[in-house]
Structure 1
Amino acid sequence: MSKPRRRKQKKQVKAELKLRQFAATELSDQLAALPCAADLPRFMVDTVAGAYAPADAELMIEGFGAAATRPVTLRANTLKATAEDIAAALDAAGIAHRPVAWYPDASILPEAQVSDLWDLDIYRDGKIYLQSLSSMMPPLVLGAQAGEDILDMCAAPGGKTTQIAALTQGQAHLTACEMSIPRAEKLEANLHRQGAKNVPVMRIDARELDEFFRFDRILLDAPCTGTGTVVSGNEKSLRGLTEQLLSRCARSQRALLDRAMGALKPGGTLVYSTCSILPQENEDALQEALDKHMDCELIPLDGTPSESEARRAQEAGEEPRIESNALTEAIAAGQVSAIANGLPGTLTIPPSRDFEGFYIALIRKRS
């Protein structure tokens, strides 16, 4: 008798991903002619020109040039030291520093190189974490509290994970996800060095997070093209920056957002952030996720109420409550600049001398 044939498994075909395309325009031609845009990929210049108001687009392109003189910034690890302790140690080492008005634990070192810190005890002992100012913003918006179940979905190398641990003084039930084994090992090393205890690291693809898990707050700082971190004239910052990379990142971001919204507890909040300034990775991805998850809503970061709060206030005959945090207060005070994007209520931080380009949005699952 002949052996029964094994049925061939159908190869799964990924659904086509249609991203917005931006053609060359007179404005993008003008931006591409700027000296600081000389080595930028043309698709990136066309996208910036098409996605933002002309003045903001020019500001953004010029910001990539200003990034060449961006100073070293760090965060005091308050699990081990106070900001005053760090200031005293920097003074003793003769390293100039100034505080960040909107985040007292952060410092700017206007004249230092990273290597100037390597031999200091505060560096070796994990009392500081070298981190860009922009990447400190998402944990502040997240607003994690002691006792809550918190997930950092794409956690390595651990800057934001350890910041959440510090902000909650290690009293939150914090979990970190990282699918790359080498990156997960680096994450675990940083957690240990920073004194962030009892933070389990799940070495899994967060897109495949088990349906069993539910969290009060989730930080999804998604893998992206990194266009916000580009520095004009710096070949390393531009390496691999192609439309193919954008397509891969955009597909992954949509899957991660889908899983993140599904993993929120009712009333739970999600912060979605990227170090990209491309709308295909930011507002476009988020709008698609919100359209799919009708039980989730955008919590504006621009001083306006959410849709549900506006309805509640109208029905009650009251003024709507406006949610605020350290970042929204800093923007209102003129300490941080944000520019308009295609989804009002979300923030685009343009690249500049002090800040990397960043996108931040806050979402809540309805109770």
Structure 2
Amino acid sequence: MASITEIRKKIPQDLLNSFYDIFDIHTVDKILYGISDKKLTTLRVNTLKYDIKSLMDFFKEVNIKFERVKWNENALILKNADERDIEKLNIFKEGQIYLQNLSSMIPPIILDPKEGEKVLDVAAAPGSKTTQMAAMMKNMGFILANEADKIRAERLKYNLKLQGVEIAEVRVGKGEKIGEEYPEFFDKVLLDVPCSGEGIISIKDPKTYRGWSLKEVERLSRLQKKLFESAYKALKKGGIMVYSTCTLNRKENEEIIDWALNNFDIKIMNIDRLDNNFLNGIDIGLSDEVKKCIRVIPNEVYEGFFVCKIKKKD
């Protein structure tokens, strides 16, 4: 593993400075080690086609070692197999399992979509969270899976079909327009927004941070506000929204929530700290309410993430 000094030299200076502006030195060191760690492979069973007991029995037969995840009974952390190994298996090719980082599984768990509900996934491709929610809903209800990019939308359609999802309709178009098309239509909304991706940086892969800039963070923040407004309009009164990103800065996280509190009739809901690797939101100069959000610090099993649970007032 690279030293902290070596890692500091590799990532953009403005990005490093932004970490120190937000976090204490100990937490920054954890983040830097987290983005240099080799990630263990994590996955979940697709309960529309398979079950966790059968999966664990199969892995024992083929000598794949695993660990359970305390907050997700259908997820496993693999100890001696990587994604390429898993992709060779028939259970992967047939959509019985889904390779997905644990952090990506958190927003649907927090949203908790139920059978029969109408759910909006604003930025759905490649379909990790859409397929997870469809399984949680037991293929009963309705999911509008939106994707702005036509090529990514095709990948989304492929994954939905492979995973046996029958309740999702793919909409190809700007998420900013959904609120006008579906006013107060959805019981729940997953708003996993496009972001600067600081939480999924890998020091070994420069393309994961080469495009990062303060200017790009500003651009994305403006887009996130537009998507939030659209999602809010599409959500029924009394409905639940989960806002999430795979980035670490305040501009795309707490500051979006603080802005939303000042502009919409919402309240922030408490989230159980699913794991001791999760931090509360940071409220420096912002509403105390943002402390109810959670941050996930990257390590060998988690990508960096931010999650906030929101209720639209009646």
Short-chain TM bin: over 0.9
Q: TM-score normalised to the size of structure 1?
A: 0.79
Q: 1:297 & 1:340 partners in 2: Cα distance?
A: 15
Q: Mean Cα displacement is larger for which, 110-119 or 130-139?
A: 110-119
Partner secondary structure for residue 355 of structure 1: coil
Q: 2:18 & 2:273 partners in 1: Cα distance?
A: 29
CA contact (8 A) 1:144 1:172 kept: no
CA pair 207-340 structure 1, distance change in 2 beyond 3 A: closer
Q: Which residue of 2 aligns with 1:299?
A: 269
CA shift for structure 1 position 179: 1.1
2:261 matched to 1:290?
yes
**Structure 1 residues 27-69: Cα deviation after superposition (integer angstroms, max 9, x where no partner):** xxxxx9722222111111111111123332332223222x3x2
CA shift for structure 1 position 233: 3.0
The match for 1:115 among 74, 77, 84 is 84
**Structure 1 residues 102-140: Cα deviation after superposition (integer angstroms, max 9, x where no partner):** 211001112212111122111011000000000000000
Q: Which residue of 1 aligns with 2:105?
A: 136
2:308 matched to 1:338?
no
After TM superposition, the runs of 4+ consecutive aligned structure 1 residues lying more than 3 A away are none
The match for 2:32 among 61, 82, 86 is 61
**Structure 1 residues 156-186: Cα deviation after superposition (integer angstroms, max 9, x where no partner):** 0000000000111111211110111001110
User: For residues 232-243 of structure 1, what are the structure 2 equivalents within 5 Å?
Assistant: 232-243=203-214
User: For residues 160-309 of structure 1, what are the structure 2 equivalents within 5 Å?
Assistant: 160-213=129-182, 214-293=185-264, 295-301=265-271
Partner secondary structure for residue 171 of structure 1: coil
Higher strand proportion (structure 1 or 2): 2
Partner secondary structure for residue 250 of structure 1: helix
Q: CA RMSD in A?
A: 1.6
CA contact (8 A) 1:155 1:177 kept: yes
CA contact (8 A) 2:111 2:240 kept: yes
CA shift for structure 1 position 285: 1.4
Q: Mean Cα displacement is larger for which, 182-191 or 48-57?
A: 48-57
CA contact (8 A) 1:37 1:232 kept: no
The number of residues matched between the two structures is: 304
Q: 2:59 & 2:91 partners in 1: Cα distance?
A: 9
CA contact (8 A) 2:278 2:294 kept: no
Q: Which residue of 1 aligns with 2:305?
A: 358
Q: 1:143 & 1:119 partners in 2: Cα distance?
A: 31
| Amino acid of the structure 2 residue aligned with 1:250 | S
Please identify the structure whose Cα radius of gyration is greater: 1
Matched residues, percent identical? Answer: 32
CA shift for structure 1 position 355: 0.7
User: For residues 41-80 of structure 1, what are the structure 2 equivalents within 5 Å?
Assistant: 41-65=12-36, 67=37, 69-80=38-49
**Structure 1 residues 279-312: Cα deviation after superposition (integer angstroms, max 9, x where no partner):** 111111121122111x1111122xxxxxxxxxxx
5+ residue gaps, structure 2? 284-289
